Amino acid sequence: MRDKQFWIVSGIIIAFLLVYNFIGHPFFLTNRTVMLFAILLFSGTLIYYTRLAKMGEPIFLRDIPGLKAVEEAVGRSTEMGKQVLYVPGIMDMDQVETVAGVIVLGHVAKMTARYETPLNVPVSRSIVMKAGREACRESYLMEGRPDLFQDDMVHYLTDDQFAYAAGVNGIMVREEPAACLYMGKFYAESLILAETGNSIGAIQIAGTASQSQIPFFVTACDYTLIGEEFFAASAYLSQKPELLGGIKGQDVLKAILVGTIIVATILRFLNEMGWISWDVMNFLTIQ
């Protein structure tokens, strides 16, 4: 009850929904009730913990080695006088991983601006190029080094998957970056990129939620941010309270999901044995 405002608003929404249900819930698809619960639960939990973090509640997050290594990788590039290569995946801004990749790019750009390290970001989508440029421009401005920012540091290659991989490979073998960061959505080109980066001796950090590509990054990269770790990267790197609160909220949701799975298993057993009539499997099925 640390956030009274939140609980008051939640109470009003719940009361409104109860009244709506009591008067016959017009225009409501009852076979999607579980989705309503899920949206309310997820939204409410995330908002609550974000607000708590903003109010100064301390949020503890365990270390993720791959994220600590990002600054080390940029530092290594600085020491060697070589560039940092950042690959934000091959998909467009309508993919959540690409969005996360561009956000992390902003943090990496801050580091490269701070250390005066060259940054090279080849992209395969025009909107990603524009978003990447905006993210880098803002980072260089925030670090007080707009003079170091150039539009060309984020440059378009091609939309074609393997042509893009060939182009990035060419950049790797010719420019020999000291650090290669792969953060975004990847498909079959992941191993081609990571193997080439490995062959030039670059420190490599990958982050993706593409399940089929994580094995290749795990094999060929020094550090890999797996799924959720990648999405948490922005909060870790920025240490902004609202983002850290979001991570805490997601953790609480995971715990709730674990509890839900166990409870649903018990309820299913009870239903199938005929001891209760309520069918949890039917409830969990979105029509």
Residue closer to another protein (CB basis): 86 or 231: 231
Core vs surface per residue 19-54: b (16+ CB within 10 A) or e: eeeeeeeeeeeeeeeeeeeeeeeeebbbbbbbbbbe
Q: Which residue in 183, 188, 166, 170 sits closest to 221, CA to CA?
A: 183
Tokens read off for 194: 């990571």
Nearest to 102 by CA among 114, 112, 111, 92: 92
Nearest distance from residue 149's CB to another protein, in Å?
13
17 binds another protein (CB under 8 A): no
Tell me, rounded to whole angstroms, the distance of Cα 227 from its chain centroid. 8
CB of 162 to another protein, least distance (A): 7
- The whole-angstrom separation of Cα 62 and Cα 284 is 33
Q: Which is nearest to 20 in space by CA: 7, 8, 35, 36?
A: 36
Q: Decide if residue 47 touches another protein (CB under 8 A).
A: no
Binding track, positions 165-204, relative to another protein; x by CB under 8 A: -xx-xx--xx-------------x--x-------------
**Taking the complex as a whole, how short is the minimal distance between the CB of residue 15 and another protein, in angstroms?**
24
Q: Give the pair of three-digit tokens for residue 114.
A: 């701070």
**Site map 208..247 versus another protein, x via CB under 8 A:** ---xx-xxx-xx------xxxx--x--------------x
DSSP state, residue 147: G
Name the site residues for another protein (rule: CB under 8 A).
34-35, 38-39, 42, 59-62, 64, 92-96, 99, 126-127, 130-131, 134, 156-160, 162-164, 166-167, 169-170, 173-174, 188, 191, 211-212, 214-216, 218-219, 226-229, 232, 247-248, 251, 254-255, 257-258, 260-262, 264-265, 268-269, 272-273, 280-281, 284-286
